[in-house]
Amino acid sequence: MKSYLERLPEIECVILDVDGVMTDGRVGYAANQEDEIKFFDVKDGHAIKLLARAGLRVGILTGRTSRANRIRARELDLAFVYEGEKNKLAAFERLLREQQLTAEQCLYIGDDLVDLPVMRRCRLAVAVADAVDEVLQVADYVTKAGGGRGAIREVAVELLKQRGAWKKVTGRYYE
Amino acid sequence: MKSYLERLPEIECVILDVDGVMTDGRVGYAANQEDEIKFFDVKDGHAIKLLARAGLRVGILTGRTSRANRIRARELDLAFVYEGEKNKLAAFERLLREQQLTAEQCLYIGDDLVDLPVMRRCRLAVAVADAVDEVLQVADYVTKAGGGRGAIREVAVELLKQRGAWKKVTGRYYE
Amino acid sequence: MKSYLERLPEIECVILDVDGVMTDGRVGYAANQEDEIKFFDVKDGHAIKLLARAGLRVGILTGRTSRANRIRARELDLAFVYEGEKNKLAAFERLLREQQLTAEQCLYIGDDLVDLPVMRRCRLAVAVADAVDEVLQVADYVTKAGGGRGAIREVAVELLKQRGAWKKVTGRYYE
Amino acid sequence: MKSYLERLPEIECVILDVDGVMTDGRVGYAANQEDEIKFFDVKDGHAIKLLARAGLRVGILTGRTSRANRIRARELDLAFVYEGEKNKLAAFERLLREQQLTAEQCLYIGDDLVDLPVMRRCRLAVAVADAVDEVLQVADYVTKAGGGRGAIREVAVELLKQRGAWKKVTGRYYE
């Protein structure tokens, strides 16, 4: 059986849960729910842009709905946003059809129980360091960094290196 | 005398303090007090929904008043919200009458001195890891996680497991 | 010479720096400067109310100006607010006159260089755990907790205990 | 070859990346992107003012654009703000011309790949403790503190001491 590193070059699409993966799992409330506050990591964001530069598709699949998600997705020019999806597996199947992908091309990063069905279906399932036990157990890889604190960066760098794309996408910083 | 774990199946209602329990105890101010900012934990939120799915009632009993509390309560569909209650014990007695509960059915999670009277009255009193000394001393159980960082999750998972409800409420994630 | 603990009962007024003492030193900006965001600690807040209950005066002396300060001061019913004071020592002298206090009755909690002149003038100077070296060196006491994370609580509890007021101000939680 | 400490007195200008250096790399979203939320460190801010007091120029060079940057720059009275600069090296060359500086007079503090070209051009390149590996490797100095948590303060204090300006700029706190 192929290891996590050996399978990374097969990945064409990275699917991200939002809360607890792109963020540290905290949601802030003030005047109203629509404007819930979330904090994203700038280094994770840069890594997502490097993935896109290498030709991969990166997008969001989340059970919650918020403007913060859409602002962040637009800023990073994400390939797709599926939000408010209470049944993540059904949404994942729809995503595969609509984005013309197969599960074997997908890597999913999750942190909680609701992520389990998609994690078992994807080619590669990654858990952030502070995921719940059940998610840590099914993951092909557990990041050293926690959600919202570099977990996505860690996966992206390794994926680009295993794919042999690292030098190409970061070349401009070494000119 | 029954241990904490042995008493968990008797619990029908989980009562939560907000600041320091559902949050890490920080309140943010910007333009005005009405819109004070609080950060809640998404994994705690999911655990609260699992408790409700198992038929338990979960609600808030807090001395402060803020929109953030009510937004969070509505989002999690909490069974009750008692806020602005400077005398928590009096509010707790009223809560028991209004919600038709007995103190023997209630578990309370607290972190500060104002929580002591209710903690001594409830069947089970839980302190978050970063509660003040006086609260740690009277607690039947002290969570490993701090307030706003998984303390509620920790209590909910154990409660559902001791009640024999864990598999039923999480079954959908294993189909 | 009297120790820190021995001098605590002489204190009648606790003067607090805001940023780095009542907060962890982070200031947040979004739409405009007027609405800068600061996070305060709820347990610190409760401790300030206990000090007031024991008859002590507690107030703010800060170089910055913001609505967040005034919101927090009003919520905690502070005895005084001196903000926008670039020269803290001059403001401190004015504070003594206006509040009819002597420096020998005052304890000041600080974290940065601007606090040094007042710290040398007060009866007791406290530094938070994450104060700069120069402040740590002149302090009569360094808290175990960092600014915005319980430093004020720590000072208040010890002060109330040394004063013999702890049982009286917390008695209501043990009835 | 001169060491980091030996070269510090040659520096006349400190250029700061924003996200991950002046902040801890988190950007918060709520109602809209324009108002993204960033948290700055008050002790870092004071250090920047001390540098200016010693006659150094301090400014921002960042790839992102936000009101928070400009609010912070105005509050600290920064000498220049270059934002929205996707090509940092080109912006740096323009900065040198417009501010009439040479690369040999500049110290740059960075944390991510986009900072590499400028870091190789400056007299001194500093990486914050939580910078990415590639940045840590090219840095002349790595701060003990992380971005947004004192990294700038650490550099500024050492620079002022090596320059022999520390006592002059902090003298007012010892009168």
- From B77's Cα to the closest Cα of chain A, the distance in A is 14
The confidence band for C1, taking pLDDT boundaries of 50, 70 and 90, is confident
Check CB contact under 8 Å for C116 and D43.
Answer: no
Q: Would you tell me the crossing angle of helices A42-53 and A151-162 to the nearest 10 degrees?
A: 20
Torsion angles phi and psi, residue D140, rounded to 5: -75, -25
Residue C42 phi, psi dihedral angles, 5° rounding: -65, -40
Chain D: nearest CA to A133, how far in angstroms? 26
Burial classification of residue D33, based on how many CB atoms lie within 10 Å of its CB (0-12 exposed, 13-18 middle, 19 or more buried)? middle
Say yes or no for a CB contact (<8 Å) between D33 and A75.
Answer: yes
What confidence tier does B31 reach under pLDDT thresholds 50, 70, 90? confident
Query: What is the average pLDDT across B22-51?
Result: 92
Select from A30, A64, A114 the Cβ nearest to the Cβ of B35.
A30
Q: How far is D101 from chain C (nearest CA, A)?
A: 30
Q: What is the largest CA-CA distance in chain C?
A: 52
Percent of chain B with pLDDT over 90: 94
Q: Which among C18, C71, C144 is the top mutation candidate for probing chain B, defined by the most B β-carbons within 10 Å of its own β-carbon?
A: C71
Q: How far is C100 from chain B (nearest CA, A)?
A: 30
Residues in chain A with CB shorter than 8 Å from the CB of D68 are: none
CATH assignment, A4-167 = 3.40.50.1000
**Residues B34, A32: C-beta atoms closer than 8 Å:** no
Of B40, B43, B71, which has the smallest distance from its Cβ to A32's Cβ?
B71
Contacts with C37 from chain B: Cβ below 8 Å: 28-30, 37
Res C35: pLDDT: 79
| CA-closest candidate to residue B26, choices B41, B8, B15, B11 | B41
pLDDT for the residue C72: 95
Chain B contacts of C71, Cβ < 8 Å? 29, 32-33
Nearest-by-Cβ selection for A33 from B39, B75, B175: B75
Tell me the CA distances in angstroms from A72 to A23, A36, A112, C13, one per residue in order.
11, 13, 21, 47
Residues of chain A scoring pLDDT < 50:
none
Burial A21-58, CB ≥16 within 10 A → b, else e: bbbbbbbbbbbebebbbbbbbbbbbbbbebbbebebbb
pLDDT at B142: 98
Residue D30 pLDDT level (bands cut at 50, 70, 90): confident
Reported confidence tier of residue C51, pLDDT bands at 50, 70, 90: very high
b/e map D44-70, b = 16+ CB within 10 Å: bbbbbebbbebebbbbbbbbbebbbbb
Q: Tell me which of C39, C65, C77, C81 to substitute to probe the interface with B (most B C-beta atoms closer than 10 Å).
A: C39
Distance CA D26, CA D108 (A): 20
User: What's the sign of the alpha-carbon dihedral A43, A49, A50, A51?
Assistant: positive
Question: pLDDT for B44-71, tens place per residue?
Answer: 999 999 999 999 999 999 999 999 999 9
Distance of CA B174 to the CA centre of its chain: 27
With CB atoms and an 8 Å threshold, state whether D173 touches C111.
Answer: no
* CB within 8 Å: A112 and B43: yes
Predicted model pTM:
0.96
Q: Which of C28, C64, C111 sits opposite D37 (nearest CB)?
A: C28
- Name the 3-class secondary structure at D128: coil
Q: How many CB pairs under 8 A join B and C?
A: 63
**Interface touch D37/C20, C-beta < 8 Å:** no
Cα A74 from Cα B95, distance rounded (Å): 46
* Domain boundaries along the sequence of chain A: 4-167
D79/D13 Cα distance (integer angstroms): 9
Contacting chains of A (3 CB pairs or more, <8 Å) are: B, D
pLDDT at D69: 93
Average pLDDT over every residue of B4-16? 98
What the block records as the tokens of D155 is 């550099």
Chain B partners within 8 Å of A117 (Cβ): 173-175
Q: Do C43 and B112 touch (CB under 8 A)?
A: yes
CA A72 to mean position of chain CA atoms: 13
Mutation target to probe the C interface, by most C beta carbons within 10 A, among D173, D174, D175 is D173
- Contacting subunits of C (3+ beta carbon pairs below 8 A): B, D
Taking residues C135-153, what's their average pLDDT? 98
| Confidence label for C32 from pLDDT (cuts 50, 70 and 90) | confident
Residue from the list B25, B37, B114 with its beta carbon closest to the beta carbon of C173: B114
Architecture of domain D7-166: 3-Layer(aba) Sandwich (3.40)
As given in the structure block, the two tokens for residue D112 are 């991510």
Residue D28 has pLDDT above 80, yes or no: yes
- Please check whether residue C75 is in contact with residue C67, taking contact to mean a CB–CB distance below 8 angstroms: no
CATH T-level assignment (fold) for domain C9-166: Rossmann fold (3.40.50)
Residue C57: band (very low, low, confident or very high) from pLDDT cuts 50, 70, 90: very high
Q: How much of chain C, in percent, has pLDDT values that exceed 90? A: 94
pLDDT band at B1 (very low <50, low <70, confident <90, very high): confident
Domain covering B24-167 in this structure, CATH number:
3.40.50.1000
Residue of chain B whose alpha carbon sits nearest to that of A89: B173
The pLDDT of residue D80:
98
Q: What residues in D contact A45, CB-CB < 8 Å?
A: 27
Q: Are D59 and D16 in contact (CB under 8 A)?
A: yes
Would you place residue C31 in the very low, low, confident or very high pLDDT band (cuts 50, 70, 90)?
A: confident
Most A CBs within 10 Å, among D18, D22, D27, D92, to test the A interface? D27
Per-residue model confidence (pLDDT) at position B132? 97
At D170, the amino acid letter reads T
What gap in Å lies between CA B146 and CA B127, rounded to an integer? 9
CA-based nearest residue in chain C for residue B64: C42
What is the nearest CA distance from D1 to chain C, expressed in angstroms?
31
Q: What pLDDT, on the 0 to 100 scale, is given for residue B149?
A: 96
- Residue-averaged pLDDT of chain B: 96
Question: What are the chain B neighbours of A27 within 8 Å (beta carbons)?
Answer: 39-40, 42, 45
Q: Would you give the DSSP letter of residue A146?
A: P
Best of B22, B29, B32, B64 to disrupt the C interface by mutation (most C CBs within 10 Å)?
B29
Q: Taking CB atoms and an 8 Å cutoff, what residues of chain C touch D41?
A: 25-26
pLDDT at C175: 78
CA B78 to chain centre: 11
Question: Could you report the per-residue pLDDT of D71-127, keeping only the tens digit for each?
Answer: 999 999 999 999 999 999 999 999 999 999 999 999 999 999 999 999 999 999 999
Residue D138's closest chain A neighbor by CA? A174
Determine the pLDDT at residue D137.
98
Residues of chain A contacting D20 with CB distance shorter than 8 Å? 42-43
With a pLDDT cut of 70, the percent of chain C lying above it is 99
Residue B33, pLDDT > 80, answer no
CA distances in angstroms from B84 to A6, A31, B64, B88, C76, listed in the order given:
57, 18, 5, 9, 15
Chain B neighbors of A112, CB-CB under 8 A: 42-43, 46
Mean pLDDT confidence for C39-45: 98
For residue C45, the model assigns a pLDDT of 98
